[in-house]
């Protein structure tokens, strides 16, 4: 993804970007989202190309993906949740109720479920639809959230979201994916829509996430 295209995607995703001013006597200059601090500016600048796990060395990353929307929730400071939706759609009540129940089971829903943020792919009409481009867009999105407030866990729900994150073929739901040099870990689990269609997948999901539940006295 070339520089100009990356800048357009950053704007579409709401990512904070910083550039150094021409004078060496000045610190980083904020170009978007004025709420970020100078310390965050240096951190984001150092993460111009945030890293996700390397995908397989084949042509899969160049394939064109069907349009999709990723919904992202942050119910607690330490946890992000990603789930795929059809383009332009919002999660229906049944999906939100299931997600709330899952989060309560691991003690990650202290109040009402927060509103979701959305990552639409492609973010611009006629834009890049490759898997590699989607993975870079997700990396930029996660890097921005990590810079604002570090998180420790990402629940990656469903195959589309998992492919954006890892790039390869399906893996065991219990297998965790290291992110941000080990500062966070992603747990692939079935999508909310998949669990609604096949309730037996809830047991697989629980096996994967039960380690996040606090120990009961």
Within-domain flag for 182: yes
- More confident: 22 or 203: 203
**Separation CA 1–CA 82 (nearest Å):** 23
In a domain, 199, yes or no: yes
Domain total in the chain: 1
* Span 96-112, average pLDDT: 96
Residue 70 belongs to some domain of the structure: yes
In a domain, 13, yes or no: no
pLDDT in tens, 17-51: 434 333 333 333 332 333 334 344 344 434 444 45
At residue 192, the pLDDT reads 97
The residue that leads in pLDDT, 2 or 211, is 211
Residue 97 belongs to domain spanning = 59-211
In a domain, 146, yes or no: yes
The pLDDT score that the predictor gives to residue 125 is 77
Alpha-carbon dihedral 64, 69, 73, 77, rounded to 10 degrees: 30
Residues 172-192: tens digit of each pLDDT: 545 788 888 889 999 999 999
| Arithmetic mean of pLDDT, 89-112 | 96
pLDDT at 6 > cutoff 70: no
Q: What is the CATH number of the domain that holds 125?
A: 3.40.470
Residue 2 lies in a domain: no
pLDDT for the residue numbered 71: 96
Residue of 146 and 10 predicted with greater confidence:
146
Question: Regarding predicted confidence, which is higher, 167 or 87?
Answer: 87
The residues near 102 (Cβ < 8 Å, ≥ 6 apart) are: 205, 209
162 within a domain of the structure (yes/no): yes
Q: How confident is the model at residue 143 (pLDDT cuts 50, 70, 90)?
A: very high
How high is the pLDDT of residue 81? 98
Residue 157 has pLDDT above 90, yes or no: yes
Q: What is the DSSP string of 159-183?
A: HHHHHHHH-SS---TT--EEEGGGT
DSSP E strands, the chain: 18-20, 28-30, 68-76, 79-85, 117-121, 153-157, 177-179, 184-189
Mean pLDDT of 65-70: 89
Domain assignment present for residue 68? The answer is yes
pTM of the complete model beyond 0.85: no
User: If you average pLDDT over every residue of the chain, what do you get?
Assistant: 77
């Amino acid at each position: 993804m070339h520089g100009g295209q990356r800048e357009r995607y950053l704007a579409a995703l709401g990512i904070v970007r910083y550039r150094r001013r021409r004078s060496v006597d000045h610190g980083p200059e904020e170009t978007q989202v004025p709420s970020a601090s100078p310390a965050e500016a240096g951190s984001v600048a150092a993460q111009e190309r945030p890293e996700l796990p390397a995908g397989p060395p084949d042509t899969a990353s160049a394939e064109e993906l069907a349009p999709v929307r990723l919904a992202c929730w942050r119910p607690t400071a330490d946890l992000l949740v990603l789930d795929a939706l059809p383009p332009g759609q919002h999660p229906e009540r049944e999906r939100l109720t299931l997600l709330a129940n899952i989060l309560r089971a691991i003690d990650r829903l202290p109040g009402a479920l927060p509103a979701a943020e959305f990552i639409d792919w492609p973010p611009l009409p006629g834009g890049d639809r490759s898997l590699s481009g989607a993975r870079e867009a997700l990396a930029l999105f996660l890097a921005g959230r990590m810079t604002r407030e570090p998180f420790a866990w990402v629940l990656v729900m469903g195959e589309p979201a998992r492919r954006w994150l890892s790039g390869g073929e399906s893996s065991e739901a219990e297998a965790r994916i290291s992110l941000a040099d080990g500062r966070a870990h992603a747990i692939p689990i079935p999508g909310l829509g998949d669990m609604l269609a096949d309730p037996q997948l809830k047991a697989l999901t629980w096996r994967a996430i039960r380690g996040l539940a606090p120990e009961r006295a």
